[in-house]
């Protein structure tokens, strides 16, 4: 049996209705929770939080999945609340990064599910995918050897959280 806690749900009842405010556990039958491995806290250095990140990144963070491409989420330690990680070796999402240095007028972008990504393969240890058509740049760093499945899975929540914006590559 799985217990689900709904917090702050607006159930449409008036405060005087005896059903109002039922935010206790809901039982879901036939589903057993999987064992979740506790990964160590991941310390990360991230760019300073900008006003644009403060405005747009909370929507992104609210849509991120607990599991990504079969990897469980893990705690991070950073100076920004707009960073999230999954698995070991980690896949790391950072919302509100600078425009990638290689994202220039002559650079190609890959479109997945309506989101345009600039892909940087310069580091042999990781591939950095940056969404370049949103109000803030969102980076997903994949360990070397990991295919694009995590990025593909993140495009839908990213597109739902952030509106399209015409890409502006550097000179």
| Domain shared by 22 and 89, yes or no | no
| Domain shared by 113 and 47, yes or no | yes
| Domain shared by 81 and 152, yes or no | yes
| Domain shared by 55 and 73, yes or no | yes
Q: Global pTM?
A: 0.78
> Three-class SS string for the chain?
CEEEECCCCCCCCCCCCCCCCCCCEEEECCCCCCCCCCCCCEECCCCCCCHHHHHHHHHHHCCCCCEECCEEEECEECCCCCEEEECCCCEEEEEEECCCCCCECCCCCEEECCEEEEEECCCCCEEEEEECCCCCEEEEEEECCCCCHHHHHHHHHHHHHCCCCCCCCEC
Per-residue pLDDT tens over the stretch 64-82: 999 999 999 999 999 999 9
| Domain shared by 76 and 25, yes or no | no
| Domain shared by 25 and 54, yes or no | no
Range of the domain at 148: 42-161
Per-residue pLDDT tens over the stretch 96-121: 999 999 999 999 999 999 999 999 99
Q: Would you state the pLDDT for residue 168? A: 93
| Domain shared by 126 and 89, yes or no | yes
Higher pLDDT: 23 or 108? It is 108
| Domain shared by 129 and 49, yes or no | yes
Q: Looking at the predicted structure, is the pLDDT value of residue 127 above 50?
A: yes
Q: Would you state the pLDDT for residue 37? A: 55
């Amino acid at each position: 049996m799985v217990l689900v806690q709904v917090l702050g749900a607006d159930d449409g009842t008036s405060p005087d209705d005896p059903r109002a405010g039922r935010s206790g556990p809901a039982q879901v039958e036939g589903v057993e929770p999987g064992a979740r491995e506790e990964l160590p806290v991941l310390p990360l250095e991230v760019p300073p939080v900008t006003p644009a990140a403060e405005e747009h990144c909370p929507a992104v963070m609210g849509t991120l999945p607990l599991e990504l491409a079969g990897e469980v989420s893990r705690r991070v330690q950073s100076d920004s609340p707009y960073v999230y990680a999954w698995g070991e070796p980690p896949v790391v999402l950072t919302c509100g990064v600078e425009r990638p240095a290689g994202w220039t007028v002559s650079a190609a972008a890959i479109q997945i599910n309506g989101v345009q990504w600039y892909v940087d393969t310069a580091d042999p240890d990781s591939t950095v995918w940056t969404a370049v058509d949103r109000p803030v740049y969102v980076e997903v760093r994949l360990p070397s050897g990991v295919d694009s499945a995590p990025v593909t899975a993140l495009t839908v929540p990213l597109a739902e959280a952030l509106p399209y914006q015409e890409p502006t590559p550097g000179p």
